[in-house]
Amino acid sequence: MSAVKQRSRKTTMLEAINAGMAHELENDPDVVLLGEDVGRAGGIFRTSTGLQQRIGSKRVIDTPLDEKGIVAHAVGMALYGLKPIVEIQFSGFIHDAFEHIMFCAARYRWASGGQYSCPMVIRAPSFGGIKGGFWHSQSVEAYFVHHGGIKILCPSTPEDAYRMMIAAVRDPDPVLLVEAVPLYRAMSASFVHDGVPAEIGRAEIIRPGKDLTILSYGPMCHQSVIAADDLADTDAVDVEVIDLRTLIPYDIESILKSVKKTGRVVIVHEAPLSMGFGAEMAAVIQEKAFGYLHTPIQRVAAPDVPYHFSIGDECYKPNAHRIGLAIKRAMAFEF
């Protein structure tokens, strides 16, 4: 209704998440939002500002401090037909709830022979960049991609955040929404708040190119584009950047299409290198497109160490510079 008015104003990532939740809360009485300080305070990052006032405290619920309890509670709610959105304040606090996410929510459909499902959204504010120290700067997605039963989305733009939130709430299966803390306020964009959900499982080419494919997600997409732009100027390399958007189920068709075109691949994520999401990507690409590769697949990731409080933001997190070096390695490689 007020789409035209909203288009004229830019929406931050925070506001987009808020708008997505608001849309679903307003349109589906089975949707509830619960978490620590999500109601009266509007969430630790203010992603749910105003929602309790608008929707009421029966459906926007401040919980005690108890992640495992909150998530398990939401599993029960979902089994009985509600569609809970659970906020974990920082993804680093999600581990206590791991069992309920991976072995209850992600297993009920299968274990009950299709009788039950767990339509719930778990919001996991992730990644470093706010000098949070090792607990508050975590990239947890790799812990959750291991065995299916749960979908994992990671928006890198406000519009995606809005549409993915809507898609996640409507999805009949559990969804882990990996939100990018460093982008919450840093990114804004104009788009129509029309309630149209994102398509789960579809990647997007955010910078077309022909020489090399970067696969990334979340904030690292933006670093990848910066690196690609820089090298286009200095090294005349034409890099394609793909925002994976959905980690599970990932968009194998788009990935292979691009790889077959460029023959060179750099995979970028902020999470540690070993056994990370990039390892799976590399494995799948060499299985399905080995003959198309001109050079070995490169990965850019954090080292397998904790996020350093003092120098983590500068030295631990991958950045455009390190991505640039990987692009050069991939371009210059000689067998």
Partner 1 sequence: MARKPATKPKAAPKAARKKSIAKSKAPNATNDELLDYYKAMLLIRRFEEKAGQLYGMGLIGGFCHLYIGQEAVVVGMQSTAGPNDSVITSYRDHGHMLAYGMDPKGVMAELTGRRGGYSQGKGGSMHMFSREKNFYGGHGIVGAQMPIGTGLAFANQYKQDGGVAHAYCGDGAINQGQIYEAFNMASLWKLPVIYVVENNKYGMGTSIERASAVTELYKRGDSFAIPGKQVNGMDVIEVRAAAEEAAEWCRAGKGPFILEMKTYRYRGHSMSDPAKYRSKEEVSKVRQESDPIDLLRACIADAEAATEDQLKEMDKEVKSIVTAAAEFAQQSPEPDPSELFTDILVEA
By CB under 6 A, name the binding residues for ligand TPP. Answer: 36, 65, 67, 89, 93
CA distances from 35 to 51, 73, 99, 124, 198 (A): 13, 11, 18, 11, 24
Q: Which is nearer to partner 1, 68 or 294 (CB)?
A: 68
Residue 279 binding target from partner 1, ligand TPP, none, CB below 5 to 8 Å by type = none
Among 125, 132, 182, 209, binds partner 1 (CB under 8 A): 132
Binding to partner 1, residues 11-40 (CB under 8 A): 36-37, 40
Catalytic residue (one of 23, 73, 95, 136): 136
Distance in angstroms (rounded) separating the CA atoms of residues 276 and 92:
17
Q: Which is nearer to partner 1, 65 or 111 (CB)?
A: 65
- Please give the size of the binding site for partner 1, defined by CB under 8 A: 33
Let me know if 136 is a catalytic residue.
Answer: yes
Q: Which is nearer to ligand TPP, 92 or 158 (CB)?
A: 92
Among 44, 145, 189, 192, binds partner 1 (CB under 8 A): 44
Q: Based on the shown chain and the rule CB under 8 A, indicate whether residue 283 belongs to the binding site for partner 1.
A: no
Q: Which is nearer to partner 1, 93 or 108 (CB)?
A: 93
Dihedral through CA 284, CA 286, CA 289, CA 295, nearest 10? Answer: 140
Can you list the positions of beta strands (E) in 56-203? Answer: 60-62, 83-87, 121-126, 151-153, 175-180, 188-189
Q: What end-to-end distance do the CA atoms of the chain give, in Å?
A: 59
Residues 6+ apart with CB under 8 A from 121: 83, 84, 85, 86, 165, 168, 169, 174, 175, 177
Considering the complex, what minimum distance in angstroms separates the CB of residue 61 from ligand TPP?
15
Helix (H) or strand (E) holding 302: strand 298-302
Residue 132 binding target from ligand TPP, partner 1, none, CB below 5 to 8 Å by type = partner 1
Among 288, 309, 322, 325, binds partner 1 (CB under 8 A): 309
Q: Based on the shown chain and the rule CB under 8 A, indicate whether residue 272 belongs to the binding site for partner 1.
A: no
Q: Which is nearer to partner 1, 275 or 315 (CB)?
A: 315
The answer to whether 28 and 81 have CB atoms below 8 angstroms apart is: no
The torsion region of residue 95 among left (phi > 0), alpha (psi -120 to 50) and beta comes to alpha
Task: Find the part of the chain contacting partner 1 (CB under 8 A) among 90-98, 154-162, 199-207, 218-226.
Answer: 90-98
Considering the complex, what minimum distance in angstroms separates the CB of residue 135 from ligand TPP?
7
CA distances from 3 to 9, 16, 23, 184, 190 (A): 10, 13, 13, 22, 11
> Looking at the annotation, which residues are catalytic?
136
Q: Which residues of the chain form contacts with partner 1 (CB under 8 A)?
A: 36-37, 40-41, 44, 62-66, 68-69, 92-93, 96, 130-136, 303-306, 308-312, 315-316
